[in-house]
Amino acid sequence: MKIQEADAKSLLLAQGLPVPPYEVARSAAEARAAAERFLAAGADQVVLKAQVLVGGRGKAGGVKLAGTADEAEQVASAILRMTIKGITVRRLLVGPGADIVREFYLAALVDRTARRILLMGSAEGGVEIEQVAADRPEAIVSVHAHPQLGLLDWQARRMAFALGLGGHLRAVVAIARGLVATMLAYDADLVEINPLAIVRERDAAGDPIERLTCLDAKVTLDDSALPRHPEQEGLRDLDEEDPTDVEARAEGLTFIKLDGTIGCMVNGAGLAMTTMDLVKRAGGEPANFLDIGGGARADKVEAAMRLILADPNVAAILVNIFGGITRGDEVAHGLIDARAKQSRSVPMVVRIVGTNAEEAATLLREARFETAATLDEAAAKAVAAARAATPAGGGAPA
Ligand code: GDP
Ligand code: MN
């Protein structure tokens, strides 16, 4: 689950990391009021940042500075009218504009292969790190945190020196350890600071000082760990979620959209993957992964059908149910109801085996469904039906 920069920064603050002050504004007037507060508190300028769950906001014009409250209001209303990579900007982060001396990159992420948290840093921050990794992999420094002991001070110090941040040793050690602590505290997949910036500020006596601060923050949380952190559900931004994902979660279905033309409705994650493999072997491309779960009742089947049909690329549907706890006749009833209500007509091939398969077969025969005895047969029929429904030359049906 991706969370907005402002929410990510609240998690970093809670872990004691240095983050510049900020407010969230939902309108140009709110942005103006926030800007007035920061300017009155001594900021020379304010920064206004689009809160959207995509990278490269700066390049897209979603990060702007303003010197006065008037200007902040104008800039805010311009950003609030923008769409960035297809996403409408609904909120802004407003904060004092930083006087940046230099930008770095520092992130903690899960290295699944090593089964450890990996800390990655680069002196080439601010820009897209993927580009740095592709062009000059040697410009990225990485170190694994110890699974029990965490990130050790000497590891963080080595990172600091490698980035040329020897002059900010203590800050780097604290920030690096803070990133790892944030990963652990919230079961995050990624905690990325880009840029981690050296900024020029004034101390109490008015003398210039330089310090390190987390100017941007990107945190993604492990969806599978969300039950351990019920309070994090509130950080989910429903405005930016695919409506299909929202519905799937509400219905308790595991649904992942893919690019193919064959909608798959299956019970069990392993069977769903097998079904996708067999669709591929039969020469087709699955349109989704969909696990309706064990013991699914008719209403769940109907919801699953709605999700599949919401994808305009779906040209045929393959239903593969292995009845254990799930009863075949329940699924058959669900399919019959769903077809009666479906928004468009798409060929469907059904294979149901296991608990109450015979009752299911009778129901489906009476309702004139296309059925298959084996999974191979079902996959072949679905692929043939999708081909017949898709105009020659491929592409999605109109
Ligand atoms: P992103 O483009 O979505 O990653 O958004 P960032 O928050 O990283 O901002 C992009 C770039 O805008 C940064 O790399 C900085 O160069 C610049 N920027 C962001 N905040 C400030 C600020 O407070 N002051 C100044 N001068 N530049 C900023
Ligand atoms: Mn950034």
- DSSP per-residue letters across 111-155: ETTTTEEEEEEESS-SS-HHHHHHH-GGGEEEEEPBTTTBS-HHH
DSSP 240: G
User: Does the pLDDT at position 143 exceed 60?
Assistant: yes
CA distance linking residue 296 with residue 308, whole number of Å? 16
**Structure pTM?**
0.80
**Region 183-203: what's the mean pLDDT?**
96
Residue 275 · residue 281 · CB < 8 Å: no
What pLDDT, on a 0 to 100 scale, did the predictor assign at position 244? 86
Helix H or strand E segment including 294: none
CA distance linking residue 248 with residue 304, whole number of Å? 8
Contacts of 353 (CB under 8 A, 6+ apart): 321, 322, 323, 328
CA distance linking residue 319 with residue 352, whole number of Å? 8
Q: Which residue has the higher pLDDT, 172 or 300?
A: 172
**Region 127-146: what's the mean pLDDT?**
91
Size of the chain, expressed as the number of residues it contains = 398
Contacts of 217 (CB under 8 A, 6+ apart): 5, 8, 9, 12, 19, 191, 192, 193
- Ligand 1 center–CA 135 separation, angstroms: 22
Is 48's C-beta closer than 6 angstroms to any atom of ligand 1?
A: no
CA distance linking residue 175 with residue 172, whole number of Å? 5
Mutate to test the pocket of ligand 1, among 216, 218, 219 (most ligand atoms within 8 A of CB): 216
Residue 140 · residue 122 · CB < 8 Å: yes
What pLDDT, on a 0 to 100 scale, did the predictor assign at position 393? 47
- Residue 125 CA: nearest ligand 1 atom is 14
**Region 161-182: what's the mean pLDDT?**
96
**Region 185-214: what's the mean pLDDT?**
96
Mean pLDDT taken over the chain:
93
**Region 209-215: what's the mean pLDDT?**
97
- Is position 358 annotated as part of the catalytic site? no
CA distance linking residue 9 with residue 193, whole number of Å? 10
Percent of the chain topping pLDDT 70: 98
Chain centroid to CA 266: 24
- Ligand 2 center–CA 194 separation, angstroms: 4
CA distance linking residue 237 with residue 96, whole number of Å? 25
* Strongest mean pLDDT among 6-20, 281-295, 297-311, 365-379: 6-20
User: Does the pLDDT at position 336 exceed 60?
Assistant: yes
- Residue 55 CA: nearest ligand 1 atom is 3
Is 192's C-beta closer than 6 angstroms to any atom of ligand 1?
A: no
- Ligand 1 center–CA 57 separation, angstroms: 9
3-state secondary structure of 108: strand
What pLDDT, on a 0 to 100 scale, did the predictor assign at position 344? 86
Residue 326 · residue 289 · CB < 8 Å: no
What pLDDT, on a 0 to 100 scale, did the predictor assign at position 392? 57
User: Does the pLDDT at position 317 exceed 50?
Assistant: yes
**Region 198-212: what's the mean pLDDT?**
94
**Region 183-202: what's the mean pLDDT?**
97
pLDDT tens for each residue of 31-81: 999 999 999 999 999 999 999 999 999 999 999 999 999 999 999 999 999
- Ligand 2 center–CA 209 separation, angstroms: 23
Contacts of 45 (CB under 8 A, 6+ apart): 65, 66, 67, 96, 97
Per-residue pLDDT band for 296 (boundaries 50, 70, 90) equals: confident
What pLDDT, on a 0 to 100 scale, did the predictor assign at position 144? 97
Mutate to test the pocket of ligand 1, among 215, 218, 219 (most ligand atoms within 8 A of CB): 215
What pLDDT, on a 0 to 100 scale, did the predictor assign at position 397? 46
Is 98's C-beta closer than 6 angstroms to any atom of ligand 1?
A: yes
DSSP 260: S
- DSSP per-residue letters across 189-236: EEEEEEEEEEEEEE-TTS-EEEEEEE-S-EEEE-GGGGGG-GGGGGG-
Burial of 344 (0-12, 13-18, 19+ CB in 10 A): exposed
Percent of the chain topping pLDDT 90: 83
User: Does the pLDDT at position 391 exceed 70?
Assistant: no
**Region 173-184: what's the mean pLDDT?**
97
Per-residue pLDDT band for 246 (boundaries 50, 70, 90) equals: confident
Q: Give me the catalytic one of 22, 73, 105, 330.
A: 105
Helix locations, 282-390, DSSP H:
298-309, 328-341, 357-366, 375-389
Q: Which residue has the higher pLDDT, 245 or 76?
A: 76
- Is position 105 annotated as part of the catalytic site? yes
Per-residue pLDDT band for 97 (boundaries 50, 70, 90) equals: very high
DSSP 98: P
- Residue 49 CA: nearest ligand 1 atom is 7
CA distance linking residue 84 with residue 88, whole number of Å? 7
pLDDT tens for each residue of 14-40: 999 999 999 999 999 999 999 999 999
**Region 119-140: what's the mean pLDDT?**
91
Is 57's C-beta closer than 6 angstroms to any atom of ligand 1?
A: yes
Q: Give me the catalytic one of 192, 251, 302, 330.
A: 192
Nearest ligand to the CA of 104 is: 1
Is 67's C-beta closer than 6 angstroms to any atom of ligand 1?
A: no
Is 324's C-beta closer than 6 angstroms to any atom of ligand 1?
A: no
Nearest ligand to the CA of 19 is: 1
In the chain, the N- to C-terminal Cα span, in Å, equals 33
- Ligand 2 center–CA 33 separation, angstroms: 25
Residue 141 · residue 172 · CB < 8 Å: no
